[in-house]
């Protein structure tokens, strides 16, 4: 199973989601390929936001080595699931997908997972540092739900 996490900039939400899912899958002994990308090209080649890295390091998960990249057409072929953090990401991905097969792989991240009543992962970029801990908790919850769904297939 190959999963791509997608947000706008690929420096906050989706690299955190990538790191958390990889960590939890490893803990459970589930074999997954996980990557992340942004719909925009603003931060291509950059490390994740320092606040995102700090929130992850507080849980001893390193995303220091990740680098921003933009979603590419091949992603819709290579990955089995392309998971959007919010409705803007979802709309952009559906617009970008080259065919129906690609569009079928695109879903909101929080559709598959138990989510504390939320449908979107809010963008923490312009908010306070504490927003990154909120993002962490939401994504951890969602990734556990996603792994439950995968394990029961």
Catalytic site residues? 7, 13, 123
Binding of residue 123 to ligand 4NP (CB under 6 A): yes
Question: Residue 15 or residue 102: which is nearer to ligand 4NP going by CB?
Answer: 15
Contact with ligand 4NP (CB under 6 A) among 4, 5, 9, 17: 9
Binds ligand 4NP by CB under 6 A, chosen from 3, 4, 5, 10: 10
Strand partners, 11: none
Residues near ligand 4NP (CB under 6 A), total:
10
* CA dist 37 → 1, 59, 116 (Å): 17, 22, 25
Q: Helix 130-151 to helix 50-57 angle, to the nearest 10 degrees?
A: 60
Query: Taking CB under 6 A as the rule, does residue 11 contact ligand 4NP?
Result: yes
Work out whether 25 is an interface residue with ligand 4NP (CB under 6 A).
no
Interacting residues toward ligand 4NP by CB under 6 A: 7-13, 42, 123, 125
């Amino acid at each position: 199973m190959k999963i791509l996490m997608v947000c706008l900039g690929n420096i906050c939400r989706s690299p955190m989601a990538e790191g958390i899912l990889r960590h939890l899958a490893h803990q459970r002994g589930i074999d997954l390929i996980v990557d992340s990308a942004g719909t925009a090209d603003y931060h291509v080649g950059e490390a994740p936001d320092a606040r995102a890295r700090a929130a992850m390091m507080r849980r001893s998960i390193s995303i220091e080595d990740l680098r921003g990249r933009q979603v590419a057409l091949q992603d819709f072929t290579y990955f089995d699931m392309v998971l959007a953090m919010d409705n803007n990401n979802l709309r952009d991905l559906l617009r970008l997908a080259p065919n129906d097969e690609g569009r079928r792989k695109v879903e909101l991240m929080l559709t598959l997972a138990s989510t504390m009543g939320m449908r979107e992962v809010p963008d923490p970029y312009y908010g306070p540092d504490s927003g990154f801990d909120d993002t962490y908790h939401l994504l951890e919850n969602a990734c556990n739900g996603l792994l439950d769904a995968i394990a029961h297939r």
